[in-house]
Amino acid sequence: MASLSRAPQQWATFARVWYLLDGKMQPPGKLAALASVRLQGLHKPVYHQLSDCGDHVVIMNTRHIAFSGNKWEQKVYSSHTGYPGGFKQVTAAQLHRKDPVAIVKLAIYGMLPKNLHRRTLMKRLHLFPDEDIPEDILKNLTEELPQPRKVPRRLDEYTQEEIEAFPRVWSPLLRCNSGVPSFGYFVLHV
Partner 1 sequence: MAALNVLVSGCGRFLRGLLTGPTVTSWARPPARWLREVVEIQEGKTTIIEGRITGTPRESPNPPNPSGQCPICRWNLKHKYSYEDVLLLSQFIRPHGGMLPRRVTGLCQEEHRKIEECVKMAHRAGLLPNHRPKLPEGFVPKTRPRLNRYLTRWSPRSVKPIYNKGHRWNKLNRLPEVEVRTQLLGFGQGQSYKGAAGRKGWSSPSPTIPFLSDWRPHGGACKGFSQLLMGN
| Dihedral sign from CA coordinates of 90, 110, 103, 86 | positive
Decide whether 82 or 179 has the Cβ nearer to partner 1. 179
Decide whether 6 or 154 has the Cβ nearer to partner 1. 154
To partner 1, the closest distance from the beta carbon of 72 in angstroms equals: 5
Whole-number Å distance between alpha carbons of 59 and 130 = 9
Whole-number Å distance between alpha carbons of 105 and 35 = 10
Decide whether 92 or 121 has the Cβ nearer to partner 1. 92
To partner 1, the closest distance from the beta carbon of 85 in angstroms equals: 16
To partner 1, the closest distance from the beta carbon of 92 in angstroms equals: 9
> Which residues would be at the binding site for partner 1 (CB under 8 A)?
25, 30, 33-34, 37, 42-43, 64-76, 89, 91, 93, 96-97, 145-146, 148-150, 152-156, 158, 162-163, 165-176, 178-190
To partner 1, the closest distance from the beta carbon of 7 in angstroms equals: 28
Decide whether 23 or 121 has the Cβ nearer to partner 1. 23
Whole-number Å distance between alpha carbons of 32 and 20 = 13
Phi, psi of 138 (to 5 degrees): -60, -35
CA distances from residue 154 to 22, 151, 159 in whole angstroms, order as listed:
19, 9, 11
